Chain A
Amino acid sequence: MTSITYLAAEESTHNPIVPLWQELVLGTIAFGIICFVLMKFVFPRMEETFRARVDAIEGGIKRAEQAQAEANELLERYRAQLSEARTEAARIRDEARADAEGIRQDLLSKAREESDRIIAAGRDQLAAQREAIVRDLRSEVGTLAVDLAGRIVGESLADEARSRGTVDRFISELDTAGGRR
């Protein structure tokens, strides 16, 4: 038996590194078929599924990020509005305060002016009245005194000039006495 096997080995019609052409043909067809089916119907769909999955995950993340960003923006806007309103309020308050101060100052100065004016007018009037009274008194006192003196003495004083001098002296004495008072 062994001799036959050895014989078969010696008669070997096959060289292992020389391909059989029939197998080359069959292999090409078979590999072509499997390539066609898998590369056309299976793996592109897997790639699609991968992409859809990535989309689903990343899309979710992206949506969340977008919402977050929107919320942040809104918050920022509200904050800005709030601070704007705050500064506005402060400005209004300051303005009002300044206005009030101005009004107060105005009123005060006006009142002061008015009072000054009233005082000055009163003082002037007083002075004028006093002047008039002094003038009236001066003439009246002279006449009265002369009348009185004439009545007391019972005689008319002939010498007017002398009597006027006496009266004037008397009045000026009165004046000095009044000024001292």
Chain B
Amino acid sequence: MTGQTIVLAADVPFPPTVEDFYLPSIAPWGGHDVWFTKVTLLLWLSVAILILYFLLSYRKPQLVPTKKQWLAESIYGFVRNNIAVEMIGREGVRFAPYLTTLFCFIFMMNLWGIIPFAQISPNAHIAFPIILAVISWVMFIYLGFRKHGAGYIKHALVPPAPWFILPILVPIEFFSNFIVRPFSLAVRLFANMFAGHMLLLVFTLGGFAMINANALLTPVSILSWVMTIALTFLDFAVIALQAYVFTVLTASYIQGSVSEEAH
């Protein structure tokens, strides 16, 4: 972990490595404690901020909303109407609270990636995307069995196709529905956050590396830092988009499970 000490000096390590994602413990008693790191701190902060925000802005709900109440309501209304109801239909309202929680949680966790001084998203650690993906996975399978009983297996695996293609289609359906889905959900979110952080690291540290290597490269270093700022904006788009995509896909899997007709 010598790498961490030299970050403070002008002489920065380059190129960034996977180890840059695994920050040291912040536990006051020191040592290498994975329970207390910057990432877990940001996780708890996300939870605390979201809970406080919603509880405070929805303390006294009124029929004619105040500005704060309206904002909190529009977040819920957005997920409820544009994702839950749009994807699942009328009964999607039932899932709106979970989907909204999911959306807000992912968004907040992602957002740390561009918030100054935090600048790493906990979702760049695959553990958190895995948890969310597993919940979605268990959820849509559970809902499928609850809705169709044992018929869910047929509902999910046997598409309406001529019988002679089924031997090929059924394994493909199984693979895509029950294995690829959770995997792609988790990896998509994780990889986007990982890559976002990596890009910012490359351009920031790259600037330092070049300016250290040769003073003549100063303009290129400055360009590199400008790129960092531009990429931060790009990252914001990715952050919002990934939160949206994860929520929409979860809603779509739920829809596939609770719908009457074969998908």
Interface residues of A (CB under 8 A from B): 1-2, 4-5, 8-9, 12, 14-24, 26-28, 30-31, 33-35, 37-39, 41-50, 52-53, 56
Known: A19-B130, A23-B127, A38-B100. A47 touches B44 (CB 8 A): no
In this complex, how many residues of chain B approach chain A with their Cβ under 8 Å: the count is 53
Contact A12 B50, CB 8 Å, known A20-B125, A46-B72, A47-B93: no
If the complex has contacts A20-B34, A41-B55, A43-B76, are A2 and B50 also in contact, measured as CB distance less than 8 A? no
Return 12 A-B CB contacts under 8 Å, by A number: A8-B2, A8-B19, A15-B18, A16-B190, A17-B187, A23-B39, A27-B43, A27-B128, A31-B105, A43-B97, A49-B62, A56-B63
- Taking A16-B194, A34-B105 as contacts, is the C-beta distance between A24 and B130 under 8 angstroms? yes
B13 and A1 contact, CB distance less than 8 A: yes
| Chain B residues near A18 (CB-CB < 8 A) | 126
Q: Does the CB pair A24–B97 fall under 8 Å? A: no
Contacts of A22 in B (CB 8 A): 34-35, 40
**Are A8 and B50 interface neighbours, CB within 8 A?**
no
A44 to B101 CA separation, bound complex (whole angstroms): 12
Q: CB distance B96 to A43 under 8 Å?
A: yes
| Identity of the chain B residue whose Cβ is nearest the Cβ of A42 in the assembled complex | B54
B13 with A46: CB separation less than 8 A: no
The complex places the Cα of A20 from the Cα of B37 at a distance, in Å, of 12
Give 8 nearest A-B pairs by CB, closest first: A23-B127, A19-B127, A43-B97, A5-B13, A9-B17, A39-B97, A42-B54, A22-B34
- Min distance, Cβ A28 to any Cβ of chain B, angstroms: 5
Q: Are A12 and B61 in contact (CB under 8 A)?
A: no
**Within the complex, what minimum Cβ distance (angstroms) separates A2 from chain B?**
7
CA distance A6 to B101 in the complex (A): 41
